[in-house]
Amino acid sequence: MSDLEITDLHVRTEDREILKGVNLSIKKGEIHALMGPNGSGKSTLANTLLGHPSYEITEGKIVFKGEDITGSDPHERAKAGLFLAFQYPVAIPGVSVANFLRMAINAKREEPIQVKEFRTELQHAIDLLDVDRSFTSRHLNDGFSGGEKKRAEILQMAMLKPDVAILDETDSGLDIDALRTVAEGVARLHDEQGLGALIITHYQRILHYIEPQFVHIMLDGRIVLSGGVELVERLEREGYDEIRQEFGASV
């Protein structure tokens, strides 16, 4: 049984249908890549999975760990073990990374985490991801570079221990060192925690650092092809135009 099961998902925003029948299954521990050009519906899928109110599900359903979460609030989905790494993380001046992490953990628990336990878990995450301890004293994303924002999100994943993480174009705007940091962080969490991940991207470069087991190509609001890394290699050779022609897609 898959941890995340998306069935015939149709989604619209305002007066436009964006997703037109998406089917996708992800198990904990699996690394999936969702690729497609801009405008194909990738970020709409990510936002819909986490319950963004601007996106209306008109048909289909989302099941997570056996529970129908199609109508669940975002905090309920996060509490259940879904995580979304945003393309453009928001800065929160005045709130340190460490304090934000403690608040996020407490939001998932019945009882607040004890100080000693939190410090132990934070130190383990810092060591696992090779993060400077002083990083956690800085205000969340305030004045952060693109790579530092992504590092903060990977640290959040390490502390929150989601079953499945959705990484929405997390490689956007990153230099090669920051990209490697993100990919290595996801790989380490996959190895240690059994993290499942859906890496949403329209570039191939992040997939050179973390190899997905499954690759899906989205065009015009649908997943039109699924396979292995050979699809990444095909895109590097042909781009999206050949696949558009094959499936008669406009976007």
Question: Minimal CA–CA distance to 181: which of 210, 212, 211?
Answer: 210
| Rounded Cα–Cα distance for residues 87 and 172 (Å) | 7
Decide if 167 contacts 198 (C-beta within 8 A).
yes
Tokens found for residue 155: 């640290």
Average pLDDT, the chain: 90
Residue 167 has pLDDT above 80, yes or no: yes
| Rounded Cα–Cα distance for residues 130 and 32 (Å) | 24
H helical segments located in 55-172: 74-80, 97-108, 115-129, 146-160
| Rounded Cα–Cα distance for residues 68 and 177 (Å) | 39
| Rounded Cα–Cα distance for residues 7 and 148 (Å) | 35
Q: pTM for this structure?
A: 0.91
Q: What is the strand order of the sheet 56-64 is part of?
A: 16-26, 4-13, 56-64, 67-68
pLDDT in tens, 202-217: 778 888 888 899 999 9
Length of the chain: 251
| Rounded Cα–Cα distance for residues 216 and 38 (Å) | 15
Residue 165 has pLDDT above 90, yes or no: yes
Decide if 219 contacts 36 (C-beta within 8 A).
yes
pLDDT at 201: 87
What would be the CATH architecture of the domain defined by 4-88+164-247?
3-Layer(aba) Sandwich (3.40)
